Amino acid sequence: MNNLLNVRDLRHTYVKGRIQTHAVRGVSFEVARGETIALVGESGCGKSSTARLIAGLETATSGSVSVAGHDIADIATDKRLRRLVQMVFQHSDQALDRSWNVERIVAEPLLRMDGLRLSAARTRTVAALNSVGLGDDFLSRRPRELSGGQSQRVAIARALISQPELVVLDEPTASLDQSVRTRVLDLLKRIQEERNVGYVFISHDLASVRRIADRVAVMYLGRIVEIGRTAEIFANPRHPYTQGLLRSEPPIDPAVKWEITPMKGETPSASAIPDGCAFRGRCPIADEACATVDPLLLPVGSTRQLACIHRSVDGPI
């Protein structure tokens, strides 16, 4: 029980009318203290649903999430445990209540969890703002007076003020300009070093993943298809989906001629998942076996797992 976060066979199915949407289909992983795991994938891969389940914003259909030994159901309902998991959201322009000022926004966890008054929380609020690089002149500002980067810093300050042990970062830089992204990521990294907090980092942006994550889990249609150390995955992707994903990212060096065969097709709907391997419709190496076998996520080497029946043997491909 050394892990900060344990996710075991997490599943989540939404039912709307007669349509069942299988957003998360058996996801397991763990995160150590001070570690960052990135969940990457395209829209509909279930990474955001997983994030909400881990934060306790929704209840899983089955499976378990535990943080620091506490079940997420207890954390979500118990005020004393609630501080353990916090979250930073995607849209910088809607992450803050526009009718509140920065002081109340940042102090809200202290007001609710610890029953403090705003004035009693002042010192800690200022400290939290300072820790994200904002001065106390921001206290009385309104969200509409903040730039995207500043909004996201305020959101980070709010997430950190209750001293969480795990922070779920749901595409925290997606709505920011390129030049601001780097700074926000660096800020998150620095905070992690200071506080030894664990991160679950959700992103579709591979560059930001490479910058911040210790390990990467690549998701497709509600499953993890490949998981391993960041450097390993980027240097030597083994799942055909991971390979296609990395290849699709345009290179930033104009001297490199970008000439690829893009991955074919589009992600099927999560309410009509193909039999066998869910990726086979887009996979360049799929054969008949893939239509019948649903590949398990199996270890290849000591630090890596892979869900592909053609790549289950260890060794270079």
Partner 1 sequence: MSSIHLATRAASRKRFRLTVVRQNSALITGIVLLFALVLLGAFGPLFLPSPNVTAPGQSLMAPDSEHLFGTDRYGRDVLARSVAAIRLDLMLAVGVAIMAMALGSILGAVAGYIGGWVDDVVMRITDALLAFPGFVLALMIVAFLGHEIIFVAIGVTIGSTPHFVRLARARALSERELDYIPASKLAGANRGRVIFGHILPNAISAPLIQTTVTAGWAILDIAGLSFLGIGIQPPTAEWGTMIAEGYSDILTGKWWPALFPGLLMLLAVLSFQLIGDGLSRRNSL
Partner 2 sequence: MSVLDVDRLQVEVFETGIALLRDITLSIKPGSIVGLVGESGSGKSMFSLALMGLLPSGVRVTSGKARVAGKSILKGLTNQYVNSSREDIALISQNPRAALNPTMRINKQVIRVLRQRCNMTFKEARSEVHELLARVGIPDVGRVANSYPHQLSGGMCQRVVIGMALSTRAPLLIADEPTTGLDVTIQAQILMLLRKLVGESDEKSVMMVTHDLAVVSSMCDQLIVLYGGQVMEVGPTREVFANPRHPYTKFLLESLESYADGSADSTPSVSENPIDFGLSGCRFSNRCPFSTPVCQTTPPPAIADNTRIAYCHNLESI
Give the nearer residue to partner 1 in terms of CB position, either 14 or 234. 14
One-character DSSP codes across the chain? ---SEEEEEEEEEEEETTEEEEEEEEEEEEE-TT-EEEEE--TTSSHHHHHHHHTTSS--SEEEEEETTEEHHHHHH-TTTGGGEEEE-S-TTTSS-TTS-HHHHHHHHHHHHS---HHHHHHHHHHHHHHTT--GGGTT--GGGS-HHHHHHHHHHHHHTT--SEEEEESTTTTS-HHHHHHHHHHHHHHHHHH--EEEEEES-HHHHHHH-SEEEEEETTEEEEEEEHHHHHHS--SHHHHHHHHHSPPS-TTS-----PPPS-PPPTTSPPSS-TTGGG-TT--HHHHH-----EE-SSS-EE--TTS-SSS--
Give the nearer residue to partner 1 in terms of CB position, either 124 or 238. 124
Site string for partner 2, 64-103 (x = CB under 8 A): ----------------------------------------
Give the nearer residue to partner 1 in terms of CB position, either 95 or 245. 95
Single residue of 147, 163, 303, 312 touching partner 2 by CB under 8 A:
147
For the record, the structure tokens of 65 come out as 């999430």
For the record, the structure tokens of 11 come out as 């599943």
Using CB under 8 A as the binding criterion, the count of chain residues that bind partner 2 stands at 39
Give the nearer residue to partner 2 in terms of CB position, either 64 or 267. 267
By CB atoms closer than 10 A (0-12, 13-18, 19+), residue 83 is: middle
Query: Least CB distance from residue 130 to partner 1, whole Å?
Result: 20
By CB atoms closer than 10 A (0-12, 13-18, 19+), residue 114 is: middle
Give the nearer residue to partner 1 in terms of CB position, either 132 or 307. 132
For the record, the structure tokens of 177 come out as 């300009």
Query: Least CB distance from residue 88 to partner 1, whole Å?
Result: 8
Query: Least CB distance from residue 223 to partner 2, whole Å?
Result: 17
Indicate whether 196 belongs to the interface with partner 2 (CB under 8 A): no
Decide which of partner 2, partner 1, none touches 75; Cβ closer than 5 to 8 Å per partner kind.
Answer: none
| Residues 239-298 interacting with partner 2 (rule: CB under 8 A) | 244-245, 247-256, 258, 260, 262-263, 266-267
Residues that bind partner 1 (CB under 8 A): 52, 55-57, 79, 82, 85-87, 89-91, 94-99, 108-109, 111-113, 155, 158-159, 162
Give the nearer residue to partner 1 in terms of CB position, either 85 or 233. 85
Give the nearer residue to partner 1 in terms of CB position, either 111 or 273. 111
Give the nearer residue to partner 2 in terms of CB position, either 260 or 293. 260
Indicate whether 141 belongs to the interface with partner 2 (CB under 8 A): no
Single residue of 22, 158, 181, 215 touching partner 2 by CB under 8 A:
181
Query: Least CB distance from residue 136 to partner 1, whole Å?
Result: 20
Backbone angles phi, psi at 138, to 5 degrees: -85, -15
Decide which of partner 1, partner 2, none touches 316; Cβ closer than 5 to 8 Å per partner kind.
Answer: none
- Kindly list the residues in this chain that would bind partner 2 in the complex (CB under 8 A): 42-43, 147-150, 177-183, 185-186, 204, 206-208, 210-211, 244-245, 247-256, 258, 260, 262-263, 266-267
